[in-house]
Amino acid sequence: MSRAVTVARPGQSRAKVAWSVLAWLVALVFFFPVLWMMLEALKTESQAASIPPTIAFIPTLAQFQEVLSRDFPPFFINSAIATIGSTLLVLLLGLPAAYALSIRPVAQARDVLFFFISTRFLPFAASLVPLYLLARDLQLLDNVFALILIYTTINLPLGVWLLRSFLLELPNELFEAARVDGAGFWRELISIVLPLITPGLAATSLICLIFAWNEFFYAVNFTSSIAATSPIFLVGFISGRGLFYAKLAAAATLASLPVLLAGWVAQKQLIRGLTMGAVK
Amino acid sequence: MARESSRSQRRARGVSLPPPRRLLSLLAILLAVVACSPGAGGGTGGSTQTITVAAVSNPQMEDLQKLVPDFQKANPNIQVKIVILPENQLRQQVTQDVATKSGRYDLFTIGTYEVPIWAKNGWIDNLAPYIQKSSSYAADDLIPGVAKALTYKSNLYALPFYGESSMLMYRKDMLSAAGVTLSQKPTWDEVAAAARKVNDPSKGVSGICLRGLPGWGEQLAPLDTVVNTYGGKWFDQQWVPQLTAPPFKAAVGFYVDLIKTAGEPGAASAGFTECLTAYNGGKVAMWYDATVGASNFTGTAADNSGYAFAPTKVKPYSGWLWAWSLGMPSTSKKKDAAGTFATWATSKDYIQLVGKNLGWSHVPPGTRTSTYALPEYQKVAGGFAQITLDSIANADVNHPTVDPVPYIGVQYVGITEFQQLGDQVSQQIAAVITGQSSLDDALQRSNQLAEAVGKAHR
């Protein structure tokens, strides 16, 4: 009987192989642009611009050298401050909000949820002028603090919704038991909720990090030299009068490394977080 | 026991304040530190002034960024931060900055299109006082056509950093293999015949590369010069649009037909970079574009290129005129420092500095007559130096086409609305290139768009 369970039938085995091949193909399709970007970064400008593309070449780090000679660290640091600052704020504000919309639902919780997500209905461009004038009058132009606030407002609705979906997964009995033992809101949050939704927090953080790190529209409009972020540094290589593909690829490789590393480090938590709620 | 009871009561009320309070305080301190840190928007101390320059992304501006330490060494009280952006983003940023009087920038690169409009609006300052302060500036050495394009009410409102016209670049080896020769002042008919003769799609070779990428600064730049030399115009003296008039239609028809019969594949998405890549790769035999294109040739393209003036039809000298120039927004609070930097970066001394430190091929072309007299520069740009200088000298922004017109600008119409109008018209023409629209329909729609703009100027 047990043998019948463990030995796969030929049809099942073929299906498994087919699914694996498909999974790898899809993974390669997604990874190919990243791989191509990295390869382009190791070419000379004329190799990177050649048609048909140069496949065999001697790798050079000259483009990275050129990119780093353009004072990359300040852009990187600004990106890190804006990204980490806004993500921390999203978690700090989003977790209690998600708690109040799931574990102990406030009155009209569904309306509140809809209100949160409705703020994303407004096109970014529509909010640009009022926000820009506000930032100008508050002396916040070219200030990374403005970016922290903007990225927090952009990511907060998403954070609340994500965190709420993770909180809904926690069994109610757990909270009832804790309350019987006399646990209050903060005790529940810190001793019960946080440890249980760590994967969800990791997933939410990473999504917020990616959005904030890659954000260009507000960064280009609200900063100039002091608070400019990595995407601003990146587009500076798009030259109107010359070849730039290799340099741009090198700059893009450097700019995307932190997000790639963050994803790689947190991949276990991320997979658990992203699949939370997927299987009942 | 009493303490235990109090804790229980707090638990029962669900109140436990210290941890979040500590956390909030910590966050508040962190945000305050970030908001006040110099790296996040704070000022610089002492008497040193930091000026912010928004620059367009091109090789000459990248060189300027590399040479900023030389300026700072000579002017220790002025720190310069250069923000390099692609043309579209730069235009959007600086327009936003001057229109809202935000004062984010102390200098920016603007072109011959913007200078007269912005000077009239009072968005940029007259730079004559700063030129007078600099004893070695030699304003009379600026190429007259360029200086004229940057002048408003007899004063320079921007200082030219880099200038260009347009010319025909061709592969001598490829034309000679097809038995084609070109004169130094070719006509468009001559160029079209040569392109069709060399064109060989079976070998992956196109006769000519012409920009088809929509955008007033992309496709319309070369196309407008064709329109001008055909005698076409955007508006007549009464601001009535002329996009369906015979010369305009003939010019656009010729341009589109040449692309379709002997142009590069995927022309509707080809701009300067795509054409340069195709030319360097030996995929096109000719390329009509900015004179600075020749400075970017590599490999066999660098060894086998010949140069000719912008091709003509009716009007002689059809080359365009463009100069990226340093303008000072009227909102700048550090005008003296900005003026000092602008005069340094556009001076004869700067050209020497670039040549000696970065190589003579890096010298910003098209701004000063003296540059073309430098033996070192002639050595590296000999093939196209004189054509560049003559093309710029003969490009007249006040008389772009055969008949008089009420606007200024060779490859653009010097009115605020042109950015949008030009983009929309170029999209219509791109649709003709891709076969999605007929020439008549596209020009009819374009003319309607221009009608709305013309009305406002009548």
Per-residue model confidence as pLDDT tens digits over B309-351: 999 999 999 999 999 999 999 999 999 999 999 999 999 999 9
Does B277 touch chain A if contact means CB atoms closer than 8 Å? yes
Exposed/middle/buried for residue B259 (C-beta within 10 Å: 0-12, 13-18, 19+): buried
Phi, psi of A238 (to 5 degrees): -80, 95
Looking at the partner chain, which of A81, A184, A224 has a beta carbon nearest the beta carbon of B14?
Answer: A184
Q: What is the pTM of this model?
A: 0.82
Instruction: Please report residues of B whose CB lies closer than 8 A to that of A53.
Output: none
- How far is residue A223 from each of residues A87, A229, A233, B422, measured CA to CA in Å? 20, 8, 12, 28
Interval A84-100 mean pLDDT: 94
- Which band of pLDDT confidence, cut at 50, 70 and 90, is reported for residue A8? low
Cα–chain center distance at A235: 20
Enumerate the domain spans of chain A: 2-61, 63-275
Instruction: Please report residues of B whose CB lies closer than 8 A to that of A240.
Output: 56-58, 86-87, 272
Does B25 touch chain A if contact means CB atoms closer than 8 Å? no
Q: Which helix (H) or strand (E) holds B290?
A: strand B284-290
CATH number for the B166-319+415-457 domain, one of 3.40.50.720, 1.10.3720.10, 3.40.190.10, 3.40.50.300? 3.40.190.10
Check: CATH 3.60.15.10 for A63-275? no
Vertex A209, ends A93 and A32: CA angle to 5°? Answer: 155
- Of chain B, the percentage scoring pLDDT greater than 90 comes to 80
Comparing CA positions, the residue from A28, A51, A249, A218 lying closest to residue B204 is A51
Exposed/middle/buried for residue B200 (C-beta within 10 Å: 0-12, 13-18, 19+): middle
Q: What is the DSSP string of A66-95?
A: HHHTTT-HHHHHHHHHHHHHHHHHHHHHHH
- Which band of pLDDT confidence, cut at 50, 70 and 90, is reported for residue B37? very low
Looking at the partner chain, which of B39, B56, B296 has a beta carbon nearest the beta carbon of A243?
Answer: B296
Tell me how far apart the alpha carbons of residues A161 and B296 are, in angstroms, rounded to a whole number: 52
Contact indicator for B182, B308 with CB cutoff of 8 Å:
yes
Residue with tokens 């890549």: B277
Q: What is the pLDDT of residues A202-231, one digit of tens each?
A: 889 999 999 999 999 999 999 988 999 999
Tell me how far apart the alpha carbons of residues A196 and A242 are, in angstroms, rounded to a whole number: 54
- How far is residue A125 from each of residues A122, A129, A132, B151, measured CA to CA in Å? 8, 8, 11, 35
- Which band of pLDDT confidence, cut at 50, 70 and 90, is reported for residue B3? very low
* Same fold for the pair B49-164+322-380 and B166-319+415-457: yes
Interval B349-356 mean pLDDT: 96
- Residue contact A46–B296, C-beta within 8 A: no
Residues with Cβ within 8 Å of residue A13, at least 6 apart in sequence: none
Does A258 touch chain B if contact means CB atoms closer than 8 Å? no
B residues 68-97 closer than 8 Å to A (CB)? 81-87, 89, 93, 96
Instruction: Please report residues of A whose CB lies closer than 8 A to that of B11.
Output: 182-184, 187
Provide the residue type at B203 as one letter.
Answer: K
pLDDT at A174: 87
- Which band of pLDDT confidence, cut at 50, 70 and 90, is reported for residue A276? low
Residue A102 token pair:
């799931």
Enumerate the domain spans of chain B: 49-164+322-380, 166-319+415-457
Which numeric CATH code is attached to B49-164+322-380? 3.40.190.10
Comparing CA positions, the residue from B361, B319, B294, B330 lying closest to residue B60 is B361
**Per-chain mean pLDDT for chain B:** 90
